[in-house]
Chain A
Amino acid sequence: DAMVIQNPRYQVTQFGKPVTLSCSQTLNHNVMYWYQQKSSQAPKLLFHYYDKDFNNEADTPDNFQSRRPNTSFCFLDIRSPGLGDAAMYLCATSGDSLWEQYFGPGTRLTVT
C-alpha cells in the first residue's frame, strides 16, 4: 500500500545532541510537510517542501532544519534539542489535491 513512513517511531536524545528524523513516501506526492505536535495541542506546521522549494514558517526556530534529497525522502534535523522540543513529529504529504494531506504515524521525540 502507498503510504507515509516515519522512522524511528520513538527517538530518545540527549539535551543538545543533534538528532535526525526521517520520512519517506510511496505516494509520489510533490509536497512534504513537517509538523510538531505537543501533548493536547494541535499539530503545528514547521515547514514544507513543494518539490525542491523549501518553505519555512515564520515562527519555526532556527534550531530546526530540513532536507529533501529526492521526491521520496524528507529529513528533519534538530541541531541542539532542548527539553521544550520533546514532542510528536508528524510528516505529511500532498499531491494534486494540495489541501488533502496524508500523514505518517509520527516520531515521538524524548529529550533527556
Chain B
Amino acid sequence: AQSVSQHNHHVILSEAASLELGCNYSYGGTVNLFWYVQYPGQHLQLLLKYFSGDPLVKGIKGFEAEFIKSKFSFNLRKPSVQWSDTAEYFCAVTVNFGNEKLTFGTGTRLTIIP
C-alpha cells in the first residue's frame, strides 16, 4: 500500500521568507500527487496537483511543487510567504487509474509571523 511522509510537523517563518515543505511517498508505480491546504476553521482545499507531464506544477496563491520521480518526492514551494499562508498543509497521493483512494500525509502546520 502507498504511504506519504511529511517530515516537517511545524514550520515557523517570517513574512517574505521562502518556503519549502517536504513530501515523500512510497509506491513503485504511477502516482497522482496533490497538495491540500486547510486554513484555520476552513475546509480542505486543493492547492495543486500532478497527474503527468511537466514535473513542475503551479497552483493557486503562488504555490508550486516539483515532482522528482527518482526521489519519490513532491515538495511544495513558495518564494515569498504571506501571513495569510498560515495553515495546515497536507500532501496526498493516489495510485493506479480508477483507484479513488487518496492517502494523506500527517500534515505540516505552517505559521507565518508578520
Of A44, A94, A106, which one neighbours B100 at CB under 8 angstroms?
A94
Which residues of chain B from 65 to 102 have any CB-CB distance to chain A below 8 Å in the complex?
90, 94, 98, 100-102
Interface size of A by CB at 8 A reads 24
Would you call A103 an interface residue if the criterion is a C-beta within 8 Å of the partner chain's C-beta atoms?
yes
Q: How far is the CA of A100 from the CA of B98 in the complex (A)?
A: 12
A interface majority secondary structure? strand
Say whether A105 contacts B43, CB under 8 Å: yes
Asked if A90 contacts B94 (CB within 8 A), the reply is no
B42 neighbours in A (Cβ, 8 Å) = 105
A42 touches which of B43, B49, B100, B105 (Cβ 8 Å)? B105
Q: What CA separation (Å) do A79 and B44 show in the bound complex?
A: 27
CA distance A99 to B36 in the complex (A): 12
A41 contacts B45, C-beta separation under 8 Å: no
Mark A33-63 against chain B: 1 for CB-CB distance below 8 A, else 0.
1000000111111001010000100000000
Asked if A101 is at the interface (CB within 8 A of a chain B CB), the reply is yes
Interface positions of A (Cβ within 8 A of B): 4, 31, 33, 40-45, 48, 50, 55, 90, 92, 94, 98-106
In the A-B complex, the 3 residue pairs with the smallest Cβ-Cβ separation, listed nearest first, are: A42-B104, A103-B44, A105-B43
